[in-house]
Amino acid sequence: AIPCAPQLRSGDLKFRAEHSGSVAVISGPEGIEEVERMRGDAPGLRHFVFLGGERDGWESYETLMEGATEDFTAEDTAADEGAFILYTSGTTKHPKGALHTHGYTHAAWMQARYWLDLKEGDRLWCTSGTGWAKSIWNIFLGPWSQGTEIFFHEGGFDPAERLDLIERYDISVLCQAPTEYRLLAKTPELERANLASIRHAVSAGEPLNPPVIERWKELHGLTIYDGYGQTENTLLVGNYPGLEVRSGSMGKPSPGCDMRIIDNEGNECPPDEPGDIALFGRIPALFKEYWEQPDATETVFRDGHYLTGDRAYRDANGYLWFVGRSDDVILSAGYRIGPFEVESILIEHPAVVESAVVPLSDEDRGSVVKAYIVVGEDYEPSEELAKEIQDYCKENTAPYKYPRSIEFIDDLPKTTSGKIRRVELRQ
C-alpha cells in the first residue's frame, strides 16, 4: 500500500505509481482530478476505485463491497515482510520510498501506549492527513491497539472551528502539528476556549517553541508533550507522562530505542556536544530499505546503526536537543521538503534559467521555502513574475512545497566543481 496525501499533484502521483509498481488507485473526490491528469501516463495502473458513489471510468467502492464475500481469511505474513511504502523528501530530485514491514504494528502499539498515553474511553483527534506517516501512528494502528475512539474531521484549519470541535466532541487526547499549536496560541479564541476535556496533548514533526508550550500551560494548564520521529521510523524520542518536560527538548529515547549522538567517526559525543542522531539496533519501527534504491539504503545504514540525517546534542540529564538537518531537507509546518523537488519544478518555468532552494526562518511554520532564481534574458525580475512562478509551482506540485519567498539574483554561488553553495545562500 502507498498512502498519498491529497495535496500531491499528478506528477507526484505518477512518480509514486511507477516507482512502486502500483496496479490500483483508491481515491475519494479530493484526489480525482490529479489522478485523472496522470492516469494515461501510468500504464501500470489497471484498477481505479472511487470512494463516494458512481463515476465514469471508475469502479465504485460501495458497489464492490456490496458484492464482496462475507468470508475473510487473514493473509499469513511474517514480521519482516513488506507492508507499505511511505515516500519521504530528500536532497535528490525524487522522494525516496521507505519500505515498512508488518512488524511496524508493534512499534505503533508502543508509542500509542507510552507517548499518546491512550486508554479505553479516550477520544483521540490527530489532525494529520491520512497520507502522512503520523496518521499511521496516531489514527490507525496506534489507537486501534489501545481500544481508543478516533475523531475525524474533513476540512481545513480554522482556529475558532478547531477549538469549538474540541469542546463539542469532548476530545481527550489531542495530536496536532507544531504550526497548529503556534497559530492557536496567537488567537484570542484560545483564551476563551473551554478545553477541559483534554487530558493529554502531543506534538511532532518539528521542534515546538518553548513560548508556545508555556502559553498553553498558562491558559489551560496543559503540557504539550513534544516528540521526534521520521517517515523511516516512528517515535524515537519523546516527552512522556511522568517525565519532567523541558521546553524545547525532544525528550528522551522511546522504550527499546538505543539512541546515541555520534561524531563523524561513529564515536559517542560527550554531553552538550552536537553530533548526528543515530539509532543502534533493528527495532520494529525502523524501515527495511528504500524501495529500489540500494545506494540510498546503504548510505543511512552503517556499522549496525541507522543515521537519521538530523543533528542534536544530549545534555547531562539525558535529554536530547534538536540542532538541525545534516542535509538540505527543509522542515516547514511539519512537512519535509526536498530542495531538488522544488527546483525541478521551477526549472520547467520558461523564465527560470537556474534556481536554488533553501529554508527561510518563519515564526509560525518553523521554516518556509525560499527560492533564489536566475531568469532568462527575455525576462525582467518583478513581483508579477514572482507571483506567476509561485502559482506555477502550486499547480504542478503539492502546494505546501511552493516558494513563499523568491529572490531574483544574477548568478548562483557555486563551488569550483559547479555545485551550488547552499550554505552561502542560507546566511
Rg of the chain on CA atoms, in Å: 22
Lowest mean pLDDT among 34-43, 49-58, 199-208: 199-208
Residues 320 and 334 in one domain: no
pLDDT bucket at 340, cuts 50 / 70 / 90: confident
Residues 284 and 371 in one domain: no
Residues 361 and 398 in one domain: yes
CA-wise closest residue to 322 among 268, 369, 366: 366
Q: Pairing state of beta strands 405-408 and 366-375?
A: parallel
pLDDT bucket at 375, cuts 50 / 70 / 90: very high
Let me know if residue 85 belongs to a domain. no
Residues 40 and 129 in one domain: no
Let me know if residue 82 belongs to a domain. no
Mean pLDDT computed over every residue of the chain:
92
By three-state DSSP, how is residue 365 classified?
A: coil
Domain interval for residue 44: 10-66
Instruction: Annotate 75-119 with DSSP letters as a single string.
Output: ----TTSEEEEEEE--SSSS-EEEEEETTHHHHHHHHHHHTS---
Let me know if residue 20 belongs to a domain. yes
Residues 304 and 362 in one domain: no
Distance CA 412, CA 165 (A): 48
Domain count, the chain: 3
Residues 309 and 336 in one domain: no
pLDDT at 91 over 70: no
**Owner of C-alpha cell 500504464:** 43
Lowest mean pLDDT among 6-10, 66-70, 92-96, 250-254: 92-96
Residues 6+ apart with CB under 8 A from 73: none
Let me know if residue 87 belongs to a domain. no
Lowest mean pLDDT among 175-179, 223-227, 252-256, 421-425: 421-425
pLDDT at 417 over 50: no
> Residue 166's pLDDT is what?
98
Let me know if residue 81 belongs to a domain. no
CATH number at residue 338: 3.30.300.30
Let me know if residue 321 belongs to a domain. yes
> Residue 90's pLDDT is what?
59
Let me know if residue 305 belongs to a domain. yes
Let me know if residue 3 belongs to a domain. no
Residues 286 and 369 in one domain: no
pLDDT at 245 over 80: yes
CA 196 to chain centre: 29
CA-wise closest residue to 277 among 232, 242, 226: 232
pLDDT at 82 over 80: yes
Q: Pairing state of beta strands 47-50 and 59-60?
A: parallel
Residues 176 and 297 in one domain: yes
Q: Which position has the higher pLDDT, 91 or 67?
A: 67
pLDDT bucket at 258, cuts 50 / 70 / 90: very high
Residues 256 and 373 in one domain: no
